[in-house]
Amino acid sequence: MAGKKLKLNAIATTGIIIIAFYLVGIIVSFFWVPFDPVDMDTDHILEGPSFATGHIMGTDEFGRDVFSRIMAGSSISLVISLAGTALGGILGTLLGIWAGYLGGAWDHWMMRFADILFSFPSLLLSIFIMAILGEHTLNVVIAIAIVYIPQFARISRGAILQIKQEEFVRAARSNGATSHYILYKHLLPNIVVPLIVQVSLSLSVAILLESSLSFLGLGVQPPAPSWGNMLSGARKVMAIAPWTAVYPGLAIVFLVLGFNLLGDGLRDILDPRLRNVG
Amino acid sequence: MSDDTILRVEGLMTQFKTDYGIVKAVDGVSFDLRRGETLGIVGESGSGKSVTNLSIMRLIQSPPGKTVGGKVIYDGRDLLSLPEEEVRLMRGKNISMIFQDPLTSLNPVLTISLQITEALQLHHHMGKREAKAKAVEMLKLIGIPDAERRANDYPHEFSGGMRQRVMVAIALSCNPDILIADEPTTALDVTIQAQILDLIKNLSSERHTSVIMITHDLGVVAGMCESICVMYAGKIVERASVDDLFYDPKHPYTRGLLDSIPRLDKAGAYGDERLYSIPGIPPSLVNLPEGCPFAPRCSKAKDICTKAYPPETKFDGERPRSVSCWLYAEEK
Amino acid sequence: MGRYIAKRLLSLIPVLFGVSLIVFFMVRLIPGSALEMYMGTQVEATPQQMLELKRIFGEDKPVPVLYVEWIGQILRGDFGFSLRTGRPVLPDIISRLPLSLELTVLSLLISLLIGLPQGIMSSLGKNPFLDLINRIIGLLGLSLPQFWLASLMVLAFSGFAGWIPMGNYIPFSENPLKNLQMLLLPATAIGIGFSAVIMRYTRNSMLEVLQMDYIRTAKAKGLKKNVVIWRHALKNAILPVITVVGFNAGGLLSGSIVIEEVFALPGMGRLALYAIYQRDYPLIQAIVLIIATIFVLVNLLTDIVYALVDPRIRLDEGGK
């Protein structure tokens, strides 16, 4: 029945199609790009988009092809976001599970720590972390991960506390190994659903975070292309060469939209209360 | 239609669209209600008793449910064919309803006073102050101590029993002709149940209100009602006055229900102390079989019972009496 | 009520302590000490000058001691001196705070103005197709990078005087109308994204509430549809929305960092950014601490507002 619902859910499907589109682009970019994304070509600075020259999205202030840079940037942005979310998600989930399972002082202090991290708005925290770690691509992954740890911890801890209530009585009677098994068997279904939705939505936010950081010069450093730093460079020349700003932005918007659609659609399927009345 | 009849339901049919198919929750229900009469509608969960009454007031949520047939005649007009706005004007004023769960039936963020006065202001066009005074009066009437102050309290500050009393007060505050009580005591303690039922009984007889009491509890029905309809799988299978039903049940299902009541004074249906319960389970309402829906569980089932639904057989007598069962109907 | 607030304020203190710890020690971790950067421009200095410089740049004592000193100073109202300008940090921050706060409040208002009605309409919607479109538009709003939207706005409106500050910021006290005009676009850039969040939460909350028994009771009383929605449903549905708003208000505040940069507004966020670029520790510490504190206080404010609106919480001590 879930498969049937998935097919019927237009929103999630649209999201998947969009994401697939990008994935294809990324895979292709490993083998071929129209122009070299990094090579400067001072003869062709700030040329408008035209099929004739092959620069279908124009060139930037250094003569680099915008479209090729977008393609190259997509793999960078997506990989960073995936890695950061995965790292933060796994660490956060583990922390949350431990906190929920162990309870007591452990739980108390871990949640205190999470609360403190929560006291910083995400962007501020990630800017702060980048300032400490240094503006390097790898560090963006770490920054995103740190931002996400408390969020995932909270979700998984909530799930654990729920089952703990249910299984506790039975687990109290059986030996340690059995209670582990019970937790494992019942924990996963309880956790998987909200986690999947959360991951999809977190990916969308991660992409925005990464591009914001790169825009501010605190993320992926030029000349490596990231949609964020492409936009930063475009600021100066936007007035006369709007394509340098429009296309990279659109690239961000659609990929983020794809993940948002997927997450929203999944949530619809997996949490029936929130569907349309009827 | 006699002068005495205040509500007539004819062939009411309400269905729900679900992922599993169409559920025929109410499948051809007809009954009359006289002025001042207390009618009981009895049945198990899923028999369609609540849906019947929500359909009368047109409160069925429109996807997924829909009233697809029949008539509900009140005051000379068919409620099912009136425009929504006209029916809305009657709700709370001519026909009132109280629901099963007092914890969730009152709005938690509004004061009790407001929830009473809004009905008064709407139906009787009272001013704010007048309505507030009347509300306090009603609270006193239903036995809430310190009514003046407690009117400004919120639902969560009252006990379940008091909340249900408030619901009764709200429903009767505008002197409706008909009060529909949907399992009003099911969610309450036994001792409180009696109080609520007494309250309904007293208030309604004072004001000559007709009451439809929906319940699965035969004890409630015995104490409160003058006539009873027994429902099964969306249909009324037997209709009789209280005495006739308890002393001479005709439909096998009714008999089964009565036999299921544990008795201390004589042997049960098996002839000894074993507790009796009707074998089998109620049918799925999605794919109802041809014929009588009770047939699979009926010890008296005949061949024809699985083939065709029995017509209604009326009995002569002072009080109206009918049953839908092949034991009494002529096979043609 | 007063006791509730006092209790909550007390519980904030350890959190704020933790925040200050993190801020202080993390700032210390920033590579490239300011002293080194400063020295880079000097050719040489006498040992005495070095000692003095070390003291000024806070490198003469072990870090934990410096932390305690710092906390002591803060509690006395002294937030230190900027390494770049030599001026005390606090007045600069205070002078820029109103702008950032105003921007945040405006963006909140805009997002509520857009998101709430959208969410309510969407939950009532009889037209599933329109509803779908609405939801996609909402998600689209969520997907727009604020800095991109802001950049495009600057591009589009730079021709029209008065809409883009361009360094000539007029504070509210001077000319309220012009001030609002200037902040409208930046606030919208921040607010659009958040309006999508509000729309979603409002919609979901309303959908849940409309299924409740008390709504059925209200209808059974014969109340008009509008009354049912506005008096009965909305007051309940708004509760989770209040929580969400409070929780995300910090995001709005930090969103102003980027927006202030793009619109060249002299706000606190922009100050923070440049402090980070320049490794101006005292300034960074102070700003981050203040922003985090504001965030924490906003959460408290949210809880209080929630307790005011939801009568079930009012009388309980501490609520949760």
Q: Pick the residue of C15, C151, C206, C291 with the most A CBs within 10 A to test the interface with A by mutation.
A: C151
For C317, which DSSP code?
S
CA-nearest of A224, A84, A103 to A148 is A84
pLDDT higher at B262 or C208: C208
CB contact under 8 A, C145 and A253: yes
Query: What is the enclosing helix (H) or strand (E) of B23?
Result: strand B21-34
Q: Which residue of C has its CA nearest to B55?
A: C220
Q: Which chains touch B (3 or more CB pairs under 8 A)?
A: A, C
CA A123 to chain C, closest CA, distance in angstroms equals 6
For B29, which DSSP code?
E
Give the phi and the psi of residue B74 in degrees, each rounded to 5: -130, 130
Provide the number of CB pairs (under 8 Å) joining chain A to chain B. Answer: 6
Could you give the count of Cα atoms lying within 13 Å of A207 in the half-sphere of its Cβ?
31
pLDDT value at residue B268: 65
Is pLDDT of C140 > 90?
no
pLDDT value at residue A272: 55
> What whole-number distance in Å separates Cα of residue C89 and Cα of residue C283?
6
Query: What is the enclosing helix (H) or strand (E) of C191?
Result: helix C176-210
CA C176 to chain A, closest CA, distance in angstroms equals 29
Q: Which one of A132, A249, A260 has the shortest CB-CB distance to C26?
A: A132
**Confidence bin at A200 (pLDDT 50/70/90):** confident
For C195, which DSSP code?
H
Is pLDDT of A144 > 80?
yes
pLDDT value at residue A275: 40
Q: Which of A65-79, A205-219, B193-207, C68-82 has the lowest mean pLDDT?
A: C68-82
Chain C contacts of B173, Cβ < 8 Å?
A: none
Pairing of strands B38-42, B65-74: unpaired
CB contact under 8 A, B59 and C216: yes
What region does B300 belong to: left with phi over 0, alpha with psi -120 to 50, or beta? Answer: alpha
Helices and strands (DSSP H and E) totals, chain A: 9, 0
pLDDT value at residue A88: 92
Q: Which one of C220, C223, C232 has the shortest CB-CB distance to B97?
A: C220
pLDDT value at residue B213: 92
Q: For chain C, positions 235-274, list CB contacts with chain A under 8 A.
A: 250-251, 253-255, 257-258, 261-262, 272-273
CB contact under 8 A, C151 and A127: no
Give the mean model confidence (pLDDT) for residues A176-202.
71
Greatest mean pLDDT among A3-12, A61-70, B197-206 lies in B197-206
Chain C contacts of A203, Cβ < 8 Å?
A: none
Mean pLDDT of chain A: 79
CA-nearest of C55, C57, C54, C58 to C67 is C58
CA C250 to chain A, closest CA, distance in angstroms equals 5
Q: What residues of chain A have any CB closer than 8 angstroms to a CB in chain B? A: 1, 277-278
Q: Which of A100-104, C37-41, C221-225 has the lowest mean pLDDT?
A: C37-41
Cα distances (angstroms) measured from residue C232 to each of B110, C85, C212 = 8, 57, 10
Give the phi and the psi of residue A202 in degrees, each rounded to 5: -65, -35
**Confidence bin at A254 (pLDDT 50/70/90):** very high
**Confidence bin at C319 (pLDDT 50/70/90):** very low
Give the phi and the psi of residue B83 in degrees, each rounded to 5: -65, 150
Got the DSSP string for C83-112?
TTT-SBHHHHHHHHHHHHHHHHHHHHHHHH
Q: Which one of B101, B109, B156 has the shortest CB-CB distance to C235?
A: B109
Alpha-carbon dihedral angle through residues A257, A262, A263, A265, given to the nearest 10 degrees: 120
**Confidence bin at C36 (pLDDT 50/70/90):** low
Is pLDDT of A278 > 60?
no
Question: What ipTM was assigned to the predicted interfaces of this complex?
Answer: 0.82
pLDDT value at residue B39: 92
CB contact under 8 A, B93 and C217: no
* Residue A93 near residue A153 (C-beta atoms within 8 A): yes
CB contact under 8 A, C214 and B107: yes
Partner A contacted by B191 (CB < 8 A): no
CA A270 to chain B, closest CA, distance in angstroms equals 16
CB contact under 8 A, A119 and C251: no
* Residue C284 near residue C276 (C-beta atoms within 8 A): yes
Give the distance, in angstroms, between the CA of residue A53 and the centroid of all CA atoms in the same chain.
Answer: 35
Encoded tokens for A132:
């400490």
Is pLDDT of C317 > 50?
no
| Helical axes A137-173 vs A122-133, angle rounded to 10° | 120
Q: Which residue of B has its CA nearest to A5?
A: B19
Provide the number of CB pairs (under 8 Å) joining chain B to chain C. Answer: 70
CB contact under 8 A, B108 and C219: no
Partner A contacted by C283 (CB < 8 A): no
Chain A contacts of B63, Cβ < 8 Å?
A: 277-278
Q: What tens digit of pLDDT does each residue of C17-27 get?
A: 888 888 887 77
Give the mean model confidence (pLDDT) for residues A17-24.
90
Alpha-carbon torsion (C9, C14, C15, C21), positive or negative:
positive
Is pLDDT of A6 > 60?
no
pLDDT value at residue B276: 77
* Residue A114 near residue A57 (C-beta atoms within 8 A): no
CB contact under 8 A, A234 and C151: yes
CA C118 to chain B, closest CA, distance in angstroms equals 22
| B299 burial level (CB within 10 Å; 0-12, 13-18, 19+) | exposed
Q: For chain C, positions 187-216, list CB contacts with chain A under 8 A.
A: 200, 204, 207-208, 210-211
Q: Which one of B92, B101, B154 has the shortest CB-CB distance to C221?
A: B92
Chain C contacts of B154, Cβ < 8 Å?
A: 311-312
Encoded tokens for C170:
């007029």
Cis peptide before B176 (omega within 30 of 0): no
pLDDT higher at C8 or A2: C8
Cα distances (angstroms) measured from residue C140 to each of A211, A214, C144 = 17, 22, 7
Q: Which chains touch C (3 or more CB pairs under 8 A)?
A: A, B
The SS3 of residue A178 is: helix
Alpha-carbon torsion (B42, B321, B238, B312), positive or negative:
negative
CB contact under 8 A, C232 and B110: yes
The SS3 of residue B41 is: strand
CB contact under 8 A, C143 and A256: yes
pLDDT higher at C217 or A181: C217
Q: Which residue of C has its CA nearest to A271?
A: C204
Give pLDDT < 70 ranges for chain B.
1-3, 266-269, 273, 331-332
CA-nearest of A260, A261, A234 to A247 is A234
Chain B contacts of A277, Cβ < 8 Å?
A: 61, 63
Cα distances (angstroms) measured from residue B250 to each of A264, B269, B271 = 56, 16, 20
Give the distance, in angstroms, between the CA of residue C149 and the centroid of all CA atoms in the same chain.
Answer: 19
Encoded tokens for B94:
């001519």
**Confidence bin at C318 (pLDDT 50/70/90):** very low
Q: Kindly give, in sequence order, each residue whose CB lies less than 8 Å from that of residue C246, ignoring residues fewer than 6 positions away.
A: C298, C299, C301, C302, C303, C305, C306
Give the mean model confidence (pLDDT) for residues A102-115.
80
Encoded tokens for B137:
């009066």
CB contact under 8 A, C151 and A10: no
Q: Which one of A10, A121, A277 has the shortest CB-CB distance to C207?
A: A277
* Residue C298 near residue C249 (C-beta atoms within 8 A): yes
Q: Which one of C29, C258, C292 has the shortest CB-CB distance to A120?
A: C292
**Confidence bin at A82 (pLDDT 50/70/90):** very high
Helices and strands (DSSP H and E) totals, chain C: 14, 0
CA C216 to chain B, closest CA, distance in angstroms equals 8
Give the mean model confidence (pLDDT) for residues C182-205.
87
CA-nearest of B90, B173, B142, B214 to C220 is B90
Partner A contacted by B64 (CB < 8 A): yes
Q: Which one of A128, A215, A257 has the shortest CB-CB distance to C288?
A: A128
> What whole-number distance in Å separates Cα of residue C199 and Cα of residue C143?
14
**Confidence bin at A148 (pLDDT 50/70/90):** very high
Could you give the count of Cα atoms lying within 13 Å of A212 in the half-sphere of its Cβ?
30
pLDDT higher at C195 or B46: C195
**Confidence bin at A81 (pLDDT 50/70/90):** very high
Q: Which residue of C has its CA nearest to A230?
A: C148
| Helical axes A176-215 vs C146-157, angle rounded to 10° | 20
pLDDT value at residue A171: 61
CA-nearest of B56, B37, B50 to B95 is B56
Alpha-carbon dihedral angle through residues C276, C277, C282, C286, given to the nearest 10 degrees: -30
CA B23 to chain A, closest CA, distance in angstroms equals 14
Q: Pick the residue of B54, B96, B99, B105 with the most C CBs within 10 A to test the interface with C by mutation.
A: B105
CA B92 to chain C, closest CA, distance in angstroms equals 4
CB contact under 8 A, A274 and C211: no
The SS3 of residue A248 is: helix
pLDDT value at residue B228: 93
CA-nearest of A278, A264, B23 to C126 is A278
**Confidence bin at C162 (pLDDT 50/70/90):** low
CA-nearest of B156, B223, B166, B168 to B190 is B223
> What whole-number distance in Å separates Cα of residue C55 and Cα of residue C80?
12
Is pLDDT of A118 > 70?
yes
Q: Which chains touch A (3 or more CB pairs under 8 A)?
A: B, C
